[in-house]
Amino acid sequence: MTHVHPVILCGGNGTRLWPLSRASYPKQLLALTGQHTLLQDTLLRAAALPGAQAPVLVCNEDHRFLVREQAQSLRHEPAAILLEPYGRNTAPAIALAALLLVETSPQALMLVLPADHVVDEQPAFAQAVEAGLRAAKAGYLCTFGISPTSPETGYGYIQAGQALSDAPLAHHVKQFVEKPDLAMAQSYLAQGTYAWNSGMFVFSASIYLEELRLHRPDILAAVRAAWRGRTHDADFLRPDALAFRACPSESVDYAIMQTTQRAATVPAQFGWSDVGSWASLWALADKDPQGNVCVGDTYVADTSNSYIRAESRLVAVMGLDDVVVVETPDAVLVMHKDLSQNIKAALDHMQLAGRKEHLEHLRVHRPWGWYEGIDAGERFQVKRIMVSPGAKLSLQMHHHRAEHWVVVSGTAKVTVEGVEALLAENQSTYIPLGHKHRLENPGKVPLHLIEVQSGTYLGEDDIVRFEDSYQRVLLACAPQ
């Protein structure tokens, strides 16, 4: 049995699925197509392959605790979680995983999977991976070309050439093609030799590094320097930030696949989608007789071929066709379904205006639980806070605000200036400005409380940490 090492790329912000997907909680961490998140589905899909080893996860600093939590909830312990200090696209991210694997298994075969794709047919996926592994063992860098079902203009294409003599289910790559216009996409579909570029790969870790040395030695040199300077804390491997920052940002397609003489492709059809827009999510989902996809508390009348999603309240849509309506507690999207690719303009507007709706939800996740804004005004702010069983916030203080805590359910252990107290349901405490304090949940059920902040400045950066269980920055102003 051939051993395969899944490498799951967990980066990306999924901006085209705003307002559900945001920078702090992107689409790969959301349950969009079932009970599991897209990342969890990817983990399960990889683990079900014959010979699959523990996965290597590559993610950024901000998502590290969420990624770890979602893997651990499946009881799928990763071989490693690599943290990219800066986003540098897929070629450097894959190189980090390759350097890790060759240290313990010089002949390791990597299966590179984005964390935010959908694959509906596991047996067909497994067959395609097996064909790709045979090509990888023969020295090729293999991608999976999805047999197109429509003239899609949102994907790049691969033109397949002759079958490989030493891996006959795979083919030489004749050419990679950028996203075409509609007429060209229709031509590709008619010719029958073009496939959608899935962005999934299988190859030897050592051969990938060798090809990187040949075609992009600048990327390899920067990644090697970052790897040599790596550190380890908790469950995370951290490449040296300064060295990695100097690395050029490049995709694996541009850095390697379009220039190497070893490129191969496996034609495949396993119900694949990159879930790149609301229109693609609508296409994936089960629909009512009018062609509508309705999620949450919705009322729909005289409406067809639309995607309607309510996250926190009733949404009524009447007399509209081919629309997307997505409601969240702090933002609502209404647009024609064909304009799914145009969301970036709205996000650019939010960034220029200094808004936060493109960055985070009202509910902000932390390694200890979450908090959610309820109300705010001049010199005050109210939050709901949930602390997971056994978790605790950092030992901290604030320069500009005082806090009142009221326990709603569970048990709170509160430490203020070294004095500990246990609070039960309906009990409260006061944290004066400038006092060192800590909140933790010593119980076996989630702790829920209400926090009322008062002061001259209530920003999340007014936190000085003195001790932290999650190895976050100490003695610096930073989020909780």
Report CA-CA distances (Å) from 298 to 25, 309, 322, 333.
24, 7, 16, 15
pLDDT, residue 475, reads: 45
Task: Please provide residue 162's backbone torsions phi and psi, each rounded to the nearest 5 degrees.
Answer: -70, 150
156 Cβ contact list (under 8 Å, min separation 6): 176, 177, 178, 179, 196, 197, 253
Under a CB-based contact definition with an 8 Å cutoff, are residues 56 and 19 in contact? no
The per-residue pLDDT string of the chain (480 residues; one tens digit each, 9 = 90 and over) reads 689 999 999 988 888 999 999 999 999 999 999 899 999 999 999 999 999 999 999 999 889 999 999 999 998 899 999 999 999 999 999 999 999 999 988 899 999 999 999 999 999 999 999 999 999 999 999 999 999 988 888 889 999 999 998 888 999 999 998 888 889 989 988 898 899 999 999 999 999 999 999 999 999 999 999 999 999 987 899 999 999 999 999 999 999 999 999 999 999 999 999 998 999 999 999 999 999 999 999 999 999 999 999 999 999 999 999 999 999 999 999 999 988 778 999 999 999 999 999 999 999 999 999 999 999 999 999 999 999 999 999 999 999 999 999 999 999 999 999 999 999 999 999 999 999 999 999 999 999 999 999 999 998 889 999 999 887 765 444 445
In this structure, the strands spanning 464-467 and 395-397 are antiparallel
Give the span between the Cα atoms of 40 and 78, in whole angstroms. 12
pLDDT, residue 474, reads: 58
pLDDT, residue 168, reads: 82
Q: Which helix (H) or strand (E) holds 300?
A: strand 298-301
Give the span between the Cα atoms of 400 and 458, in whole angstroms. 7
Under a CB-based contact definition with an 8 Å cutoff, are residues 90 and 251 in contact? yes
Under a CB-based contact definition with an 8 Å cutoff, are residues 59 and 67 in contact? yes
Q: Cis peptide before 50, with omega less than 30 degrees from 0?
A: no
| 5-273 has CATH 3.90.550.10 classification | yes
Under a CB-based contact definition with an 8 Å cutoff, are residues 323 and 317 in contact? yes
Dihedral (C-alpha) 4, 7, 8, 12: value to the nearest 10 degrees? -150
Max Cα separation, the chain? 75
Q: Where in the chain is the domain with CATH 2.60.120.10?
A: 363-467
| 363-467 has CATH 3.40.190.10 classification | no
Under a CB-based contact definition with an 8 Å cutoff, are residues 157 and 177 in contact? yes
Of 366, 49, 73, 330, the residue nearest 202 (C-alpha): 49
Per the rule left: phi > 0, alpha: psi between -120 and 50, beta: everything else, 67 is alpha
Under a CB-based contact definition with an 8 Å cutoff, are residues 9 and 89 in contact? no
| Secondary structure E strands in 22-180 | 56-60, 80-84, 109-114, 118-119, 141-146, 157-163, 171-177
| Bridge partner residues of 431 (DSSP) | 403
Q: Is the dihedral of CA 203, 209, 213, 217 positive or negative?
A: positive
The first and second tokens of residue 172, run together, are 């030489």
Q: Where in the chain is the domain with CATH 3.90.550.10?
A: 5-273
pLDDT, residue 122, reads: 96
Give the span between the Cα atoms of 230 and 173, in whole angstroms. 36
Give the span between the Cα atoms of 14 and 20, in whole angstroms. 9
